[in-house]
Amino acid sequence: MSEVIATNQTILVAGGGISGLTAALEAAECGKQVILVEKGPTVGGRVGQLYKYFPKLCFPTCGLEIQLRRLKANKNVRLLTMAEVTGISGEAGNYTASIKLSPRYINENCTACGECGKAVEGEYDDEHNYGMKKRKAAYIPYNLAYPQRYVLDPRAVGTDDGERAKAACKYNAVDLDMQEETLELNVGAVVWATGWKPYPAAKIQPYGYDRYDNVITNVEFERMLDPFGPTGGKIVRPSDGVAPKNIAFIQCAGSRDRNHLKHCSRICCMASLKQTTYVAEQLGDACKSTVYYIDIRAIDRIDDFYQKVQKDPNVSFVKSKVANIVSGSNGNVVLNGVDTEGYNRYANDHDLVVLATGMESTVPQGVFPEGTVINEHGFIDLEESNGAIFGAGCSSDALDVNRAAQNATAAALRAIQVVTKVAAQEG
């Protein structure tokens, strides 16, 4: 790869999701030099895996396309994919960041012509679809993936598939000898925006995510709606591929819970409300949705979305933290708990359960200089002692997309202030 130029007036942005992209682009469009580091093969992050956004029910790829266009047009941003920040030392205005570059096995020559994808035979779990379907060993992660270049699964290297990919490429883009590299970069400020991961549902043992086929997570449900997703856009029960008639959405699955995530993950209420509209749109009167909740946190002006869903006769709400889920007949499951409005016990049969699992921070330990404060929930607070390391988006708190973009813009300004000061000192 070509040389990466960075100085103590450069802003390092870790994470290429909506927050990292926003921080990087906003800073770059203020004229600052930015290095944007993304661990995976494509930018876009979690939002690239969503079907629609609440409350507008618009498509995340729409905004992502604009961000990509800004990225393509701006020479101030240097994007590194397959790259991970493994260590940061130093102080505000003068950090050294270690970046591990994993091999993609396909270089910049790639034209995305697709011949390698046709040539390989091996298939692996598709990360973009949370393993709900398979992808080829040589692949483009999803429709809007950027950089628009293939990736060769490392497991295919050293096998016949690797050789097939190489033989199929007319542009000398497949490089099976690519090695892991490490870069040491001098930067002035860091925006940390590595986002979130879904809380592992299997840890919530009473809900039996690992025992029942028809207990799935909200992020998996989201993938089902994608016309190019694992079910071709159809809402179906994993056990038998049949359209469900009676779905339960369980809120705070792993959030607001001392045994799991103590924090409220903010997005899950609106996400489930949004998902009931998918059900209404696709299955109409043929399917009921029941939302089991503690509080519906449809905050500020988007409360009208909640009001709209409440008017849907096919959606009902039960104020209850579901106690457990047990096996029912025909792949159905039974939810046990107490409806706290009236204090009635229930044992409700559902044919599909969507767990509104929360956001777990991905802020790592052991990467930041001593003194950097990561709070007990794993988020980076805005602290003096953090120097010029600024959390952004879901590295700063559980945020929705709109607030994450807002927060990332604020984080970009904080980083700009540091490098502006460096520039002033250096004349």
Partner 1 sequence: MSEKKIGAYVCSGCGIGDRLDVNQLVNTAKRDGKANEVKDHPFLCSAEGVKLIQDDIDNNGVNRVVIVGCSRRAKTEAFSFENVAITRANIREGVLWVRPDAPEHAETTQEMADDYVRMACAEIKYMGIPSGSGEQDLTRHLLVVGGGISGMTAAIEASKTGYKVELVEKSGELGGMVGKMYKRVPTKNGLQGPVDTGIAAMVAAIEADANITVHLNSTVSKTEGAPGRFDVEIATESGSTNNVRVGAIVQATGFKPYDMSQLPELGAGNADVVDQMGFEALAKAAAGGAIKRPSDGKEVKSVAFVQCAGQRSDKPGHLNYCSGHCCTTSIKQAMYLREQNDATAVVLFDDLRTPGATGEDFYRCGQEKGVTFSKGQVSGVAAANGGLEVKFKDLILNEETAMEADLVVLATGMVANSGPNPYLALDLEAAKAAEDTAQVAVLEKQIEVAPPSILNLQYRQGTDLPHLKHGFNDSHFICFPYETRRTGIYAAGPVRRPMDAHQAVEDATGATLKAIQACENAALGRAAHPRSGDLSYPSFRKEGCTQCKRCTVECPFGAINEDEKGYPQYNEGRCRRCGTCMGACPVRVISFENYSVETVGQQLKAVDMPDEFSEKPRILVLACENDAYPALDMAAAKGNTYNPWTRIIPVRCLGSTNTIWITDALNSGYDGVILLGCQKGDNYQCHFVKGSEIAHIRMSKIDDTLKSLNLEQERVQTYEVSIADIDRIPQILDDMASTIEKIGMSPFKF
Binding to partner 1 in span 322-381, by CB under 8 A: 340-343, 375, 377, 379, 381
Q: Closer CB to partner 1, residue 179 or residue 343? A: 343
Q: Closer CB to partner 1, residue 74 or residue 102? A: 74
Report which of 149, 147, 139 is spatially closest to residue 117, judged by C-alpha positions.
139
Tokens of 53: 């956004």
State yes or no: residue 66 binds partner 1 (CB under 8 A).
Answer: yes
State yes or no: residue 140 binds partner 1 (CB under 8 A).
Answer: yes
Single out the residue of 148, 182, 316, 385 in contact with partner 1 (rule: CB under 8 A).
Answer: 148
What is the signed CA dihedral for 9, 15, 19, 25, rounded to 10 degrees? 40
Single out the residue of 72, 211, 308, 345 in contact with partner 1 (rule: CB under 8 A).
Answer: 72
State yes or no: residue 307 binds partner 1 (CB under 8 A).
Answer: yes
Question: How far is Cα 82 from Cα 85, in angstroms, rounded to an integer?
Answer: 10
Q: Closer CB to partner 1, residue 258 or residue 329? A: 258
State yes or no: residue 65 binds partner 1 (CB under 8 A).
Answer: yes
**CB atoms inside a 10 Å sphere around CB 253:** 31
Q: Closer CB to partner 1, residue 234 or residue 319? A: 319
Q: In b/e form, how buried is each residue of 178-195, taking b as 16+ CB within 10 angstroms?
A: beeeebebbbbbbbbbbb
Position 22, amino acid? T
Question: How far is Cα 398 from Cα 266, in angstroms, rounded to an integer?
Answer: 6
State yes or no: residue 297 binds partner 1 (CB under 8 A).
Answer: yes
Q: From the CB of 4, what's the least distance to partner 1, in Å?
A: 14
Q: From the CB of 359, what's the least distance to partner 1, in Å?
A: 10
Q: Tell me which residues in 220-279 interact with partner 1 (CB under 8 A).
A: 227-228, 256, 262-264, 266
Q: Which stretch binds partner 1 (CB under 8 A): 216-224, 284-292, 303-311, 345-353?
A: 303-311
Q: Closer CB to partner 1, residue 157 or residue 404? A: 404
Q: Closer CB to partner 1, residue 217 or residue 395? A: 395
249's CB contacts (< 8 A; 6+ apart) are 218, 272, 275, 276, 289, 290, 291, 292, 353, 354, 356
Return the biggest CA–CA distance within the chain.
74
Q: Tell me which residues in 383-412 interact with partner 1 (CB under 8 A).
A: 383, 397-399, 401-403, 405-410, 412
Q: Are strands 344-350 and 333-339 parallel, antiparallel or unpaired?
A: antiparallel
Q: From the CB of 333, what's the least distance to partner 1, in Å?
A: 26
> What DSSP designation does 310 have?
H
Q: Which residue has the tokens 């970046």?
A: 99
Size of the site for partner 1 (CB under 8 A): 83
Q: Closer CB to partner 1, residue 110 or residue 157? A: 110
Q: From the CB of 301, what's the least distance to partner 1, in Å?
A: 5
Single out the residue of 113, 132, 168, 236 in contact with partner 1 (rule: CB under 8 A).
Answer: 113
CB 35 within 8 A of CB 188: no
State yes or no: residue 417 binds partner 1 (CB under 8 A).
Answer: yes
Question: How far is Cα 381 from Cα 367, in angstroms, rounded to an integer?
Answer: 16
Single out the residue of 73, 202, 323, 347 in contact with partner 1 (rule: CB under 8 A).
Answer: 73
State yes or no: residue 413 binds partner 1 (CB under 8 A).
Answer: yes
Q: Tell me which residues in 176-195 interact with partner 1 (CB under 8 A).
A: none
Q: From the CB of 86, what's the least distance to partner 1, in Å?
A: 26
State yes or no: residue 143 binds partner 1 (CB under 8 A).
Answer: yes
Single out the residue of 64, 201, 216, 318 in contact with partner 1 (rule: CB under 8 A).
Answer: 64
Q: From the CB of 413, what's the least distance to partner 1, in Å?
A: 4
State yes or no: residue 69 binds partner 1 (CB under 8 A).
Answer: yes
Question: How far is Cα 4 from Cα 370, in angstroms, rounded to an integer?
Answer: 26
CB 342 within 8 A of CB 191: no
Single out the residue of 59, 89, 168, 197 in contact with partner 1 (rule: CB under 8 A).
Answer: 59
Q: In b/e form, how buried is each residue of 305-333, taking b as 16+ CB within 10 angstroms?
A: bbeebeeeebbebbbbbbeebeebeebbb
Q: Closer CB to partner 1, residue 301 or residue 366? A: 301
Q: How many CA atoms lie within 13 A of 355 on its CB side?
A: 30
State yes or no: residue 420 binds partner 1 (CB under 8 A).
Answer: yes
CB 419 within 8 A of CB 6: no
Position 161, amino acid? D
